[in-house]
């Protein structure tokens, strides 16, 4: 019985671990996309200034 509980606990902890890792990755990707978007906007602004 204890082995079964431990097994379930292991599955639970690994699931949480993977979920957290996925969440961190998602945050990292979101930050990268956000930075890239900001860089693109800045780039467009610079281009507008240069063209004018």
pLDDT at 2: 60
> DSSP per residue over 31-42, as a string?
HHHHHHHHHHHH
| pTM, rounded to two decimals | 0.43
Along the 52 residues of the chain, how does pLDDT read in single tens digits?
466 667 777 777 878 888 888 888 888 888 888 888 877 777 777 777 777 6
Q: Give SS3 for 52.
A: coil
Question: Whole-angstrom Cα distance, residue 52 to residue 39?
Answer: 20
pLDDT at 4: 67
Map out the domains of the chain as residue ranges. Answer: 1-52
């Amino acid at each position: 019985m204890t082995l079964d509980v431990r097994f379930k606990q292991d599955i639970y902890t690994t699931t949480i671990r993977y979920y957290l890792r996925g969440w961190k990755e998602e945050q990292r990707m979101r930050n990268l996309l956000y930075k890239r978007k900001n860089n693109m906007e800045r780039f467009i602004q610079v281009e507008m200034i240069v063209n004018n």
